[in-house]
């Protein structure tokens, strides 16, 4: 009879650290989770912007940045704003989300998705995620709507709460596209508008198109940790010219164009991206192709390194979709979920800025009372997922 061992002792934490080292080597200091890369025209454009004195809400870099986004994504209109949360807020407003209504949302997301719903006075209604995409599960969405929703003269209503279901917001987790065809079909069936939270997925593809390019309304983020950054920033993408015009109007204080008069025709937002941030963004977008290549090479290196580690799966892009691999992720087998924190400690002690998934939204005090379906997949992912250092600057060891 030996000393009893716990499950976590059976799990080889050292083998996981070794796999990360096989992929990216042993860092000098710490490899952050996601660090920006400024290797292009950043300084030149910023200097040009400062010399022009147009650093704030008017300037040519904002137009240029929006044009570059349109060209790059294939969306008809791109409207640059101060951050991704503001982009989502305006998307929900334009989708018609009103106070006292509900928005179907994944519980596994960054707080920005849920905050933006709340800014409209609406309530998130959480649905489960999928192991294949890490995003909203179309089957779980269908099941939840079948269970609680009812068509009425005012739209689709949650029978239990009496509130109208005003939008569905799938999010492309870590850059992996959701099952958009499945979710869009359900949205059409129930006549509920779709808003895509594409904050993490610039450069990802679905059905051969850039994510966000086919959307009536999608939100991007250019926060410092995203695949390209403007410092802080975001954008609204739309394929509808009228929505594009409305988005620009609402995000620029709803001011009517005039040579000198200050006339505003509704309560708008001061959400326009400053020219200074757009200058940085133009330089960053010029490098997106290179970032995407490096991030795919990094993901492939992690995938190879973890193929030999029992009890762990590398999160690959969903079949038929292309991920920008914004953040790489591994999933421990359920039996090893208890080792997650030990593993996080070991990875960070070895200089790898590994992080857990976000705490699920329904566990946060502000959203604990919100309506929700069964969330067992999201809860399982939350227990088992670890994000690994994913910067485009990381040198793959066997490059």
Instruction: Specify the pairing of strand 328-332 against strand 312-314.
Output: antiparallel
393 by Cβ neighbours in 10 Å (0-12 / 13-18 / 19+) ranks as middle
With a CB cutoff of 8 Å and minimum separation 6, the contacts of 5 are: none
Query: In the bound complex, what is the minimum distance in angstroms from residue 160's beta carbon to ligand PLP?
Result: 27
Cβ distance to ligand PLP smaller for residue 271 or 352? 271
φ, ψ dihedrals at 368, nearest 5°:
-65, -30
Cβ distance to ligand PLP smaller for residue 243 or 327? 327
Cβ distance to ligand PLP smaller for residue 17 or 134? 134
Name which of 19, 34, 14 is nearest 397 in CA terms: 19
Cβ distance to ligand PLP smaller for residue 237 or 312? 237
Examine residue 182 and tell whether it contacts ligand PLP (CB under 6 A).
no
Query: In the bound complex, what is the minimum distance in angstroms from residue 61's beta carbon to ligand PLP?
Result: 18
Query: In the bound complex, what is the minimum distance in angstroms from residue 169's beta carbon to ligand PLP?
Result: 9
* The one segment of 26-34, 36-44, 158-166, 193-201 that binds ligand PLP by CB under 6 A: 193-201
Query: In the bound complex, what is the minimum distance in angstroms from residue 375's beta carbon to ligand PLP?
Result: 17
Query: In the bound complex, what is the minimum distance in angstroms from residue 343's beta carbon to ligand PLP?
Result: 23
Examine residue 324 and tell whether it contacts ligand PLP (CB under 6 A).
no
What residues between 69 and 128 interact with ligand PLP by CB under 6 A? 83-85, 109-110, 112-113
Give the Å distances, CA to CA, from 224 to 36, 175, 231, 336.
6, 16, 5, 33
Cβ distance to ligand PLP smaller for residue 186 or 228? 228
Name which of 16, 38, 5, 20 is nearest 310 in CA terms: 16
User: Residue with structure tokens 């989708």?
Assistant: 95
Cβ distance to ligand PLP smaller for residue 226 or 336? 226
Helix, strand counts (H, E) of the chain: 13, 16
Contact 164, 141 (CB under 8 A): no
Query: In the bound complex, what is the minimum distance in angstroms from residue 193's beta carbon to ligand PLP?
Result: 18
Query: In the bound complex, what is the minimum distance in angstroms from residue 189's beta carbon to ligand PLP?
Result: 25
User: Residue with structure tokens 């991030």?
Assistant: 295
With a CB cutoff of 8 Å and minimum separation 6, the contacts of 342 are: 8, 13
Query: In the bound complex, what is the minimum distance in angstroms from residue 230's beta carbon to ligand PLP?
Result: 9
Cβ distance to ligand PLP smaller for residue 17 or 292? 292
What residues between 37 and 76 interact with ligand PLP by CB under 6 A? none
322 three-class SS: strand
- Residue 145 CA to residue 129 CA, distance in Å, equals 15
Q: Residues binding ligand PLP: what is the number (CB under 6 A)?
A: 14
Query: In the bound complex, what is the minimum distance in angstroms from residue 87's beta carbon to ligand PLP?
Result: 7
Contact 315, 331 (CB under 8 A): yes
Cβ distance to ligand PLP smaller for residue 164 or 362? 362
Query: In the bound complex, what is the minimum distance in angstroms from residue 269's beta carbon to ligand PLP?
Result: 14
Name which of 186, 242, 175 is nearest 210 in CA terms: 175
Cβ distance to ligand PLP smaller for residue 57 or 225? 225
What residues between 195 and 234 interact with ligand PLP by CB under 6 A? 197, 199-200, 221, 223, 234
With a CB cutoff of 8 Å and minimum separation 6, the contacts of 25 are: 395, 397
**First-to-last C-alpha distance (Å) of the chain:** 48
Site map (CB under 6 A) of ligand PLP, residues 248-277, x = contact:
------------------------------
What residues between 157 and 176 interact with ligand PLP by CB under 6 A? 171
Query: In the bound complex, what is the minimum distance in angstroms from residue 173's beta carbon to ligand PLP?
Result: 8
With a CB cutoff of 8 Å and minimum separation 6, the contacts of 386 are: 329, 330, 331, 332, 340, 343, 344, 347, 354, 355, 356
Contact 172, 211 (CB under 8 A): yes
The binding site for ligand PLP (CB under 6 A) comprises: 83-85, 109-110, 112-113, 171, 197, 199-200, 221, 223, 234
């Amino acid at each position: 009879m030996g000393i009893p061992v716990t499950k976590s002792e059976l799990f080889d934490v050292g083998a996981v650290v070794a796999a990360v080292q096989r992929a990216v080597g042993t860092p000098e200091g710490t490899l952050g989770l996601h660090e920006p890369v400024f290797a292009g025209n950043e300084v030149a454009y910023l200097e040009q912007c400062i010399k022009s004195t147009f650093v704030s809400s008017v300037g040519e870099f904002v137009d240029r940045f929006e044009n570059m986004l349109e060209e790059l994504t294939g969306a008809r209109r791109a409207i640059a704003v101060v951050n991704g949360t503001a982009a989502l807020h305006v998307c929900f407003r334009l989708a018609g989300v009103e106070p006292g209504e509900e928005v179907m949302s994944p519980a596994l997301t960054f707080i920005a998705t849920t905050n933006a719903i709340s800014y409209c006075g609406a309530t998130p209604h959480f649905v489960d995620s999928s192991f294949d995409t890490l995003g909203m599960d179309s089957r779980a969405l269908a099941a939840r709507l079948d269970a609680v929703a009812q068509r009425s003269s005012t739209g689709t209503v949650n029978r239990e709460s009496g509130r109208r279901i005003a939008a569905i917001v799938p999010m492309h987790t870590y850059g992996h596209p959701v099952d958009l065809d499945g979710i869009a079909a359900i949205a059409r069936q129930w006549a509920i508008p779709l808003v895509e939270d594409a904050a993490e997925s610039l450069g990802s593809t679905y059905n051969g198109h850039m994510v966000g390019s086919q959307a009536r309304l999608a939100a991007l983020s250019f926060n410092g940790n995203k695949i390209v950054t403007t410092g802080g920033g975001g954008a609204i993408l739309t394929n509808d010219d009228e929505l594009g015009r409305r988005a620009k109007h609402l995000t620029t204080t709803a001011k009517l164009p005039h040579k000198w008069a200050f006339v505003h025709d509704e309560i708008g937002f001061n959400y326009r991206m400053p020219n200074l941030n757009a200058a940085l963004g133009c330089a960053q977008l010029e490098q997106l192709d290179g970032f995407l290549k490096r991030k795919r090479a990094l993901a492939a290196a992690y995938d190879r390194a973890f193929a030999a580690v029992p009890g762990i799966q590398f999160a690959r892009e969903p079949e038929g979709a292309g991920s920008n691999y914004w953040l790489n992720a591994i999933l421990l087998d359920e039996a090893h979920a208890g080792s997650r924190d030990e593993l996080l400690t070991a990875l960070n002690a070895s200089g790898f800025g590994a992080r857990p998934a976000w705490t699920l939204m329904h566990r946060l005090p502000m959203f604990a009372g919100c309506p929700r379906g069964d969330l067992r997949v999201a809860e399982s992912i939350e227990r088992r997922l670890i994000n690994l250092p994913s910067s485009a600057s990381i040198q793959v060891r066997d490059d």
